[in-house]
Chains A and B, each alone.
Chain A
Amino acid sequence: MPLNTDPNLEAPDSFYEALIETHRDLTEAQSHALNARLVLLLANHIGQLDVLQQALAAARASGR
């Protein structure tokens, strides 16, 4: 299955606000740990290895 990179979030601004809010009052180290847990939770939700590999490649390619 191809990785869906088309707009797919049902409420983009609400999601983004929730993401930032989740990190409120955390130290940088705590935030990094939270992000790692978040990646693992979302990866499990997606499940398919080929989709995850596309996401990993896309994330790596989009860095500055």
Chain B
Amino acid sequence: MALTYDSDGATIQRHSFDYQRCPDQDAVAPVRHPVVVVGAGPVGLSLAIDLAQRGQPVLLLDNDHRLSTGSRAICFAKRALEIWDRLGVGDAMCAKGVEWNVGKVFNGHDLLYRFDLLPEPGHERPAFINLQQYYAEAYLALRAAELPGITIRWQNTVVGCTPQADGVLLDVDTPDGRYQLQADYLVACDGSRSPLRGMLGQESKGRVFQDRFLIADVRMQADFPAERWFWFDPPFHPNQSVLLHRQPDNVWRIDFQLGWDADPEAEKQPERIKPRVDAMMRAAMGRDVPYELEWASVYTFACLRMDRFVHGRVLFAGDAAHGVSPFGARGANSGVQDTDNLAWKLDLVLRGVAPRALLDTYGPEREFAADENLLNSTRATDFITPKSAISRLFRDATLDLARTHPFARRLVNSGRLSVPATLHASPLNTPDRDLFAGAMVPGAPAVDAPLADAEGGGWLLRRLAGNGFAALVFDCDGAAVAAGAEGIVPVNLVQLSASGTAAARYDARPGTVVLLRPDQHVCARWRAPTAADVAAALRRALALH
């Protein structure tokens, strides 16, 4: 059955993509491709779509012929949704996903506190949607199929990778045997166990946490709200933590902390899962609730990353480059941000608009972001699963104080949820010359805002949906931007009011200009720039020196 945007979860998880023999397999010499992406998960698919939208032909290789099974990544953050809007797939994700902004943290029976991840109105996208990973992958695969620049070869397993001066030689195994191909650039999006990482003699280093968690995807009629609920030491699962999320199709995702001594194979069995879910439902809903177990898995995790994400003509993105614990939803979301950072740079370097030095900034920018994610993830993990008696003592002291003292609630850490990194130290930023307030500093990802009718209506980020640089110009004609961009790179002028919501969020006054990179990060801002200011900032943002 053909996959469509309306396919149900069972159809998507059953769907098998056909292996097709390709002419490259019969070529006398290895056929050369400008970009080969390895791994058709959310990260590889997002990258392929972004590059294809920029007009680059992309070859995407995947060792399997199916999409993901089970909920897996589940929580997709606002920034990933905004990137997917640019890739033409955000509406499909949000139409299916369960929106949420609120989290609640319980200790034992008691609600300790609630937090709202998007406390202000005026954003198109919520803080998060919950969506089974297979839906996300299916929508991305459908979007990729709409773009003629993308070729996906299923059941094409990379088994050899030889770096060359001007590219990479790949050995690819298929049901018809092996063949070779060449790539100007290779992007490894092949997951946490990344075979390509191993083939290059690289490793991802960090901390492995000695704890096990059971995921149960349960289909049932339940009346919990669409919120993230986290329990420390709940009465139905004493001394361990539990996390509950609502997903589409009346499927609930429950993560039970099991401890390091749990037997992962035994715990995956339905007869072991049933009493845990039954106890939870009786405690949380006061009655037995009929349910079906959809999927279960037992996982461990590590917080680690590669020393460098750029190795000559091979670039690493997503879990291949960095791994985090699940508390904070920083895995898939940061992987999608990797592709957002990489696609425009790779495109402009392939076109000869920017030098190789631009591509090299992918490494430090996303390594910085990975460190931020790892720091948050490690801190949350240390709080949730304390690994020494004294760490446990302080954790419990914090929870005890949090019942009555608001300050202690700020210390309770059930996961600091994914927000995009502000690239403060990026060499592509032009440091502020003029005085500005607010969060939209050079390096910050552009924040959304509702636009007034006079500004064209709709949402600010939708107006940035093009693939190039953009300048937000507030109550001015933007002549300096147009003149400064001349002969360097096209810049999309977005005319805005200096008295609207966007102006407030960007601290704009009449004459203010905010220059955005193609990945929507601020790279410069001025109160009244000259053409020379704009030209210099664009050259800096393109690593043209």
Contact = CB atoms under 8 A, between A and B. Distances in A.
Best-buried of A32, A33, A40 by chain B (most CB within 10 Å): A40
Nearest to B411: A40
Give the dominant DSSP class at A's interface. Answer: helix
Contacts of A44: 405, 407-408
A32 B400 CA distance: 13
Interface in B402-416: 405, 407-408, 411
B393 A40 contact: no
Contacts of A41: 401, 405
Contacts of A56: none
A33 B401 contact: no
Contacts of B448: none
A37 B407 contact: no
B398 interface: yes
A38 B356 CA distance: 56
Q: Is the interface of B mostly helix, strand, loop or mixed?
A: helix
A40 B396 contact: no
A42 B394 CA distance: 14
B407 A36 contact: no
Interface in A24-64: 32-33, 36-37, 39-41, 44
B397 interface: yes
B390 to A, nearest CB: 8
A33 B407 contact: no
A8 B411 CA distance: 28
Contacts of B398: 40
Contacts of B411: 40
Contacts of B393: 32-33, 36
Interface string B383-403: 000000000011011101100
Interface in B400-452: 400-401, 405, 407-408, 411
A57 B521 CA distance: 39
A37 to B, nearest CB: 5
A33 B400 CA distance: 10
A30 to B, nearest CB: 11
Contacts of B407: 44
Contacts of A39: 394, 397
Nearest to B410: A44
Contacts of B396: 33, 36
Contacts of A40: 394, 397-398, 401, 408, 411
Nearest to A44: B407
Contacts of B400: 33, 37
B362 to A, nearest CB: 32
A23 to B, nearest CB: 15
Nearest to A32: B393
A32 B391 CA distance: 12
7 contacts: A33-B393, A37-B401, A39-B397, A40-B401, A40-B408, A44-B405, A44-B408
Given A33-B396, A37-B397, A41-B405, 14 more contacts: A33-B393, A33-B397, A36-B393, A36-B394, A37-B401, A39-B397, A40-B398, A40-B401, A40-B408, A40-B411, A41-B401, A44-B405, A44-B407, A44-B408
